Amino acid sequence: MQAPRTFRAAFLLPLSLLWLAASPAGAHVMSTSRGTLRLAGNEAYYELQMPLYETAAVDSPESALRGAFRIASGGGEPVASTWNCAEDPAEEMYVCRASFTFAQPPRSVRVRCAYHAVTVPNHVHILRSGEAESARRTMFDVVSPEAEIRFAAPTPAEIFRSQFGAGMRRVIVNPVLVLFLLALALSARTRQEALGIAAAFLAVEVSAALVFQAVAQPLPARFIESAAALTVAYLAVEILLLPEAGKRWLVAGGMGLFHGLFFGGFLRRAGMQPLYFLPGAALCELVVLAVLGGIRLKTRSRRAERLAALLLLVVGLGWFLIRLQG
């Protein structure tokens, strides 16, 4: 009876994670939008910039986006509001501008942003609020769709807490990265090898993100997503066809480059500080790897590992082909 239990324990976790990660398989890994929020007396002004490809499959995007964005103060909902949207073909953006009038000047506002419910589940909205030295950046996603926005200069502790947490959440809502971390956990055969693989991957990923966000222009999202999907497929092939291959830490390090490109591009778009954001992302990745690797090493089943690797291969190649076709 022990063998079937071991098999089920080793099989159900990868299968569950594959289902969770692959469920938004039609989603964009780099699904992001930007917004600005300014306060002038009892008036709040909001501008949204969303890539046109994000709204291509949305019915009535103006009304859908308006319904997904809510703002309120301590005194309640605004007494009046306007919302107008238009396409900007030159910038390939869908731009919405809105104004909200409150009964009295608010000190802070409560924002609920559920663009992930309108576009794709892993969509992230970066809201810049305030002016100059008082500007702050808040990330809205499926994990954290609401936030209190204060129009005062953020303290260093607030910046660190907000952006460190944003880094952790960006890992959780990135389905291709979750799949890749699962593949990394399956590829390690011993604890020592798991440590080497994790160290090589994180070192290259963080280094690439730092360099890319500082010196390079953002690469096309389709290229980064396609490359990330191929990293999942390649590791799956190694697990299936080369189970005894050595020096997998070198492979993990090389693939960390592509995932570093993703984080570098996101940092450029979001305007967040890498020294706050990247440690949060790296810590979350370490926790995920430690949990998956620990369970896998305790409940080893070669049959379950091969089945999980096969599923990873199918999903990785499928995602790559979808992105290759645009």
Q: What is the CATH number of the domain that holds 71?
A: 2.60.40
Residues 254 and 286 occupy one common structural domain: yes
pLDDT digits (tens, 9 = 90+) for 253-284: 988 998 998 899 888 888 888 999 999 999 99
Crossing angle of helices 274-298 and 191-215, in 10° steps, is 160
The 10s digit of each residue's pLDDT in 210-252 is 998 887 666 777 777 788 888 888 888 888 887 777 788 888 8
Count of structural domains, the chain: 2
Q: What is the pLDDT of residues 56-111, one digit of tens each?
A: 888 899 999 999 999 998 768 888 889 999 999 888 899 999 999 998 888 889 99
273/309 same-domain check: yes
pTM beyond 0.85: no
In this prediction, residue 134 carries a pLDDT of: 63
- Does 257 reside within a domain? yes
In a shared domain, residues 224 and 108: no
Among residues 103, 123, 154, which one ends one of the domains?
154
Examine residue 145 and state whether it is found in any structural domain, yes or no. yes
Same domain, 178 and 318: yes
Residue 268, in any domain of the structure: yes
Residue 306, in any domain of the structure: yes
Shared domain for 134 and 197, answered yes or no, is: no
pLDDT the model gives residue 248: 84
**Same domain as 179, residue 308:** yes
**pLDDT in the model for residue 13:** 47
Q: Is residue 125 part of a domain?
A: yes
Residues 142 and 182 in one domain: no
Cβ atoms of 102 and 44 closer than 8 Å: yes
Same domain assignment for residues 180 and 304: yes
| Same domain as 105, residue 15 | no
3-state secondary structure string across the chain: CHHHHHHHHHHHHHHHHHHHHHCCCCCCCCCEEEEEEEEECCEEEEEEEEEHHHHCCCCCHHHHHHHHEEEEECCECCCEEEEEEEEECCCCEEEEEEEEECCCCCCEEEEEECHHHHCCCCCEEEEEECCHHHCEEEEECCCCCEEEEECCCCCHHHHHHHHHHHHHHHHHCCHHHHHHHHHHHHHCCCHHHHHHHHHHHHHHHHHHHHHHHHHCCCCCHHHHHHHHHHHHHHHHHHHHHCCCCCCHHHHHHHHHHHHHHHHHHHHHHHCCCHHHHHHHHHHHHHHHHHHHHHHHHHCCCHHHHHHHHHHHHHHHHHHHHHHHCC
According to the model, what pLDDT value does residue 292 have? 85
Give which of 290, 66, 297, 17 is closest to 177, Cα–Cα: 17
Over residues 10-67, the pLDDT tens digits come to 444 444 444 444 444 445 566 889 999 999 889 999 999 998 888 888 889 999 999 9
The 10 Å Cβ neighbour count of residue 123 is 26
Please check whether residue 142 lies inside any domain of the structure.
Answer: yes
Among 107, 152, 147, 108, residue whose Cα is nearest residue 127: 147
What's the domain range around 49? 32-154
Pair (83, 215) in one structural domain: no
Residues 144 and 68 reside in one and the same domain: yes
Mark which of 126, 154, 182 sits at the end of a domain. 154
Short-list 211, 213, 202, 210, CA closest to 285: 202
pLDDT at 185: 87
Confidence check: pLDDT of 297 > 80 = no
Whether residue 62 is contained in a domain is answered as: yes
Let me know if residue 162 belongs to a domain: no
Residues 6+ apart with CB under 8 A from 63: none
| Co-location of 48 and 24 in the same domain | no
Q: At what angle do helices 191-215 and 175-187 cross, to 10 degrees?
A: 150
Query: Are the C-beta atoms of residues 27 and 57 closer than 8 Å to each other?
Result: no
Domain boundary among 120, 154, 188: 154
